[in-house]
Amino acid sequence: MLNSKLKERLSKNQFVDPENQVRSKARPGMISLSLIGVTIIWNAWQLRATSNSVAYLNDSSMHEQMVRFANTSLMSGQLPILRWFPYLNVGSPHFLHYQGLAATLTGALGIITGPDFAFRWTLYLLLVGWPIAIYASARIFHFSRAAATAAAVMSPFMMSVPLVGYEQKAYIWLGFGIWAQLCASWTLPFAWALTWRAVEDRRYLFSAGLLITITTALHFETGYLAFAAIIIFPFLRSVDLKTRIRRAAVLLGGVIIGTSWITAPLLLNAKWAAVNSALVNTGLVRGYGARQDLTWLFQGQTFDNGRLPVISIALALGVVTTLIHWKRNPENRPVFVLFLVLLLISFGPTTWGVLINILPGHADIYFRRFLMGVQLGGIYLAGIGVAALSSVLVRVMSRWRTMHPSNRKLPPFKLRETAVFSLAVFLVIVLCIPAVLQLRKVDQQNAVDIGQQRISQGTYGPQIDSIISYIKDHPAGRTYAGLPTNWGTTFTVGYVPVFKYIEASDVDEIGYTLRTASLMSQPEYRFQEQNLSDYYLFGIHYLILPWLQKPPIPGVVPVMIRGQYELWKLPNSRYLSVLKPAGSIDENKSTIGVQSTYVLNTHLIQQFVDLNVNWAVSSDNVIWPTTTLRRPAGTILISDVNLPNGSATATVSMREQANVTLSASFDPGWKVSVDGQPAHSTMLAPAVVSVAVPPGIHTVNFIYEGFPWFYEFLAFSIGGLILLALFSRGTLRFLTLDPREGASSNPQNRRIDN
């Protein structure tokens, strides 16, 4: 009897000796690590040019500058989130309005390595190693090893039309350079996976909350995707639903408190951050709509643009597998539901209209960015699809062997897991061939372009660098070298426009538009280069022009010529000026771009007058000045402007009461004093900071002090995470959690959902 049962178990592969069992478990693990390792090594070789020192053609130029700024701030004992970022769009508290944790951490690393080196190598290593994050997070989700490995190996090979998701071309030199999103791409997979585990087991509450908090701080819109998981995951299983909802509520509350050091300053200062009115009505902000997004998806252009839709086919198999085994394999549900929900949200107001207003913060969301969540959910589903196809093929092969007597002489499939895994590996390799060839071509072109840029910098860099050195040695005002909408795009150092190239040297400039949420970013986009008044308004003292190009305004003086680059200066235009308010204009964060044309298209500033701003008013009223001045109401006798340190001082002689104006974006963090006494700062059109000064000789000080309650909110956030850790350990579980803790996390219950 015993022998018959033993034979039956052997025939069904239900028994293996311990040595073979260890080997069977070790073999897939080694193959998995080897395959992921080969993928990483291949990417490391193909992308090696990314680590080279070079001026950036895309948004990486801004991110690298943020890293340098953070590095300088930390070395001086200051936090960059509390400092004035002066270099772009007439300055702003950029680290307050824009995600700055990645730049701060990399700037800290730069204390050892140098900030530019730290930026280049984080870009390179994060890009190369991303399959590790996909594999590890998939295993936390409890995906099979085959599914996790397949997803990890396919992850670097995505290619879409918009190129703003988790594809290499979104980050590399010839792409968009969205580095902050790349940093958060490492934490979002773990935030999703740990959130799924946390709603099933309280022990994961703290780790999930910590990862969601970090994700939000690294990239706001990626953090939005992390928050979405908290809302969705509790309802994907009916077992212990009330307990799951309570855990999700605890997690949500803890994360809201934990992220308050980022979100509270952002929300409290929201009215001082402009809406990008230049893009607000385009698909970049409103989303491309259901028709376009679904067309891209079903034609394979969301994952496989320009090649055979190999990942898209695997994704379709993963969707079918998830639906067929909905009750049997609940661990596949979270990525499928997130994929579907984020796809629907990505349609944006283009499809949903006013219904989209139910989403918190909808006015500041770039809805096309939700496609990155679609890609992340999709790559997990593609891994599930490959593993399912492998399992089906192994099953078919097993049946074929038993149906034909002649095939029974072949060795039996003793290790089904190993067979499925091996077949999955084979399928992934075959599927990735078109993607490998395509990405190899892209990476080679990227390397060629970087190499040519380095050659150009070696030839023309010394010419423009000598001009930059002169500007930095004589910091009298900002620099103008063209715009993205005019000749500035063709005035270059190699491939890189001069207005981007000089950013690498931290030159305070006008022309690199729409990079920040500064109130002056929208007026800058509407800058009129033929209007001398605009140069005075923006404090432009230097112009860099192509050699032999006629200056766009009169009154400029040549300074030097270096090769094909010529430096001019406008002697009377500086950071500080005296303007007399002689009218008023209504503005808010959404209308400032349009309303600014009343100043930018006129000669008010040349006539030494400006308009008071009635801020946060929804009307578009303008009270026009009835008089202008032939000379300014006062004179700047002595000035000392150091915007990187957030300070400006002037001694002025006033003939009559008027405003001393600093050409910097208005923000409540600016504090002003006259003769040592605190004074009330006011906004002059479009949105510069100023103070009223009476007749006589006076000393005026502008100091940027930053957000006043940052440390209080930071302490509050730390307290929230500590409370979440206590819930996670069970110390406070009697307040919210089911005393039958751990029942739903039992491995025996994991694959069955009643």
pLDDT in tens, 126-152: 999 999 999 999 999 999 998 999 999
Q: Which residue has the higher pLDDT, 662 or 19?
A: 662
Q: How confident is the model at residue 4 (pLDDT cuts 50, 70, 90)?
A: low
Cβ-proximal residues to 458 (8 Å cutoff; 6+ apart), any chain:
none
Residue 511 falls in which region: left (phi positive, over 0), alpha (psi -120 to 50) or beta: left
Average pLDDT value for residue range 692-700: 97
| Tally: H helices and E strands in the chain | 27, 18
Domain ranges of the chain: 6-46+129-430, 576-704
**Separation of CA 392 from chain center:** 40
**Per-residue pLDDT at 399:** 64
Average pLDDT value for residue range 24-46: 83
C-alpha separations of 742 from 198, 378, 748 in Å: 11, 30, 12
| 549 close to 618: Cβ distance less than 8 angstroms | no
**Per-residue pLDDT at 731:** 61
Q: How far apart are CA 376 and CA 164, in angstroms?
A: 12
Specify which residues 92 forms β-bridges with: 85
Q: What is the mean pLDDT of the chain?
A: 90
**Per-residue pLDDT at 425:** 72
Average pLDDT value for residue range 47-68: 96
Helices 241-258 and 710-729 pack at an angle, to 10 degrees, of 150
Average pLDDT value for residue range 12-28: 46
pLDDT for 210-243, tens place per residue?
999 999 999 999 999 999 999 999 999 988 899 9
**Per-residue pLDDT at 161:** 95
Q: Which residue has the higher pLDDT, 731 or 279?
A: 279
**Per-residue pLDDT at 400:** 54
| 689 close to 664: Cβ distance less than 8 angstroms | yes
Residue 508 falls in which region: left (phi positive, over 0), alpha (psi -120 to 50) or beta: beta
Cβ-proximal residues to 229 (8 Å cutoff; 6+ apart), any chain:
191, 192, 195, 196, 334, 338
C-alpha separations of 366 from 88, 206, 286, 538 in Å: 21, 29, 7, 28
The answer to whether residue 209 scores a pLDDT higher than 70 is: yes
pLDDT for 246-257, tens place per residue?
999 999 999 999
**Per-residue pLDDT at 277:** 87
User: And the tokens for 9?
Assistant: 């178990």
User: Strand 622-623 relative to strand 658-665: parallel, antiparallel, unpaired?
Assistant: unpaired
pLDDT for 384-429, tens place per residue?
998 888 887 777 666 655 555 555 554 454 445 666 677 777 777 7
Q: How confident is the model at residue 61 (pLDDT cuts 50, 70, 90)?
A: very high
pLDDT for 573-632, tens place per residue?
999 999 999 999 999 999 999 999 999 999 999 999 999 999 999 899 999 988 888 899
The answer to whether residue 10 scores a pLDDT higher than 60 is: no
| 251 close to 208: Cβ distance less than 8 angstroms | yes
The answer to whether residue 108 scores a pLDDT higher than 80 is: yes
Average pLDDT value for residue range 452-470: 97
**Per-residue pLDDT at 139:** 95
**Per-residue pLDDT at 381:** 97
What is this structure's pTM?
0.91
**Per-residue pLDDT at 27:** 66
CATH architecture of the domain covering 576-704: Sandwich (2.60)
pLDDT for 156-184, tens place per residue?
999 999 999 999 999 999 999 999 999 99
The answer to whether residue 533 scores a pLDDT higher than 70 is: yes
Q: How far apart are CA 566 and CA 558, in angstroms?
A: 8
> Rounded to a whole number, what is the distance in angstroms from the first to the last CA of the chain?
37
User: And the tokens for 568?
Assistant: 């001019």
Q: What percent of the chain has pLDDT over 90?
A: 79
Q: Which residue has the higher pLDDT, 590 or 10?
A: 590
3-state secondary structure of 551: coil
